[in-house]
Amino acid sequence: MKKSNKLLLGGFLTGLFLISAIHIALYAKYKNGNYTVYSADHMRANSMQLFPNILFVSLHNLPEATVRFSDVAGVDKTEAEGLQYVQKGDTLQIWGKGKEHGEIWDPIAFDLPYNATLSLHNSFITFRQGKKENNNPVIYLRKSQAFFMGVHNPFRLGNVKIIAADSSMAVFNGNNQVNSLDVQLTNSSIDYNEGNVGQLSILTDSASRIGLQYRHLLKAKITTTQ
């Protein structure tokens, strides 16, 4: 065998030996229980930029965002490209760049304190169940859309207040369980499809639209303004 071929064969066998040794070592650690399993929540927690002591959150020009209720406000750093955010006392303000026609936008993930007031301007958000249940948010919508998704698991909320204006929309889809819902509509709409709601109060103008199942309509207190 030529010397060059011997060198190539030797290099190949050495690499194969190293790879085999690594696999054997990893398998031995696995069998001995010397490993750590990281859950999705653990990995998500490590990627969050936290903002303590927040009571008010203001979102501007976000084409798509996902919000979960938590103890502390947070923004996912891995998805925060193009965002600007600043904390001023107990208020967190977040600005997006908007969305150009045809542009693909990855949803931004936020954690919202369970007792916070949220204000949306020209934004689209989806609420999903976090670790906290029976949250009591106050939500202002201006030229915005908010979806409460209880599709895969029940979405449990406490006392919710929504003030929607300027062609805004609030939609409850799936198995939402709300203790009480207080809604104010100005040229906006609300849809509550499935799930249950304990008390329902709606103050609306003639330019707004209300979509309720019949059983929800029976218990709703609806007042129309001039």
Segments making up each domain of the chain, as ranges: 54-224
Beta carbons within 8 Å of 135's beta carbon, 6+ residues apart: 69, 114, 115, 157, 158, 160
What is the structure's pLDDT at 84?
Answer: 85
Burial status of residue 167 (CB atoms within 10 A of its CB: 0-12, 13-18, 19 or more) = middle
Q: Are 224 and 204 in contact (CB under 8 A)?
A: yes
Give the pLDDT confidence score for residue 222 in this predicted structure.
94
Rounded to the nearest 10 degrees, how much is the dihedral formed by the CA atoms of 208, 211, 215, 219?
Answer: -20
Are 68 and 112 in contact by the 8 Å Cβ rule? The answer is yes
**3-state SS record for the chain:** CCHHHHHHHHHHHHHHHHHHHHHHHHHHHHHCCCCCCCCHHHHHHHCEEEECCCCEEEEECCCCEEEEEECCEEEEHHHCCCCEEEEECCEEEEECCCCCCCCCCCCEEEEEECCCEEEEECCEEEEECCCCCCECCEEEEECCEEEEEEEEEEEEEEEEEEEEECCCEEEEEEEEEEEEEEEEEECCEEEECCCEEEEEEEEECCCCEEEECHHHHHHCEEEECC
Q: How far apart are CA 195 and CA 51, in angstroms?
A: 33
Give me the pLDDT at residue 39, please: 37
Using CA atoms, how far apart are residues 123 and 11, in angstroms rounded to an integer?
58
Q: Which of 95, 73, 99, 70 has the alpha carbon at shortest distance from 84? A: 95
pLDDT at 43: 38
Which amino acid belongs to residue 49? Q
- In one-letter notation, the amino acid at residue 221 is K
CB 172 within 8 A of CB 195: yes
**Predicted local confidence at residue 32, as pLDDT:** 61
Distance of CA 182 to the CA centre of its chain: 22
Burial (Cβ within 10 Å: 0-12, 13-18, ≥19) of residue 95: middle
Name residues of the chain where pLDDT drops below 70. Answer: 1-46, 78-81, 98-106, 132, 226
pLDDT given at position 64: 87
The pLDDT assigned to 114 comes to: 84
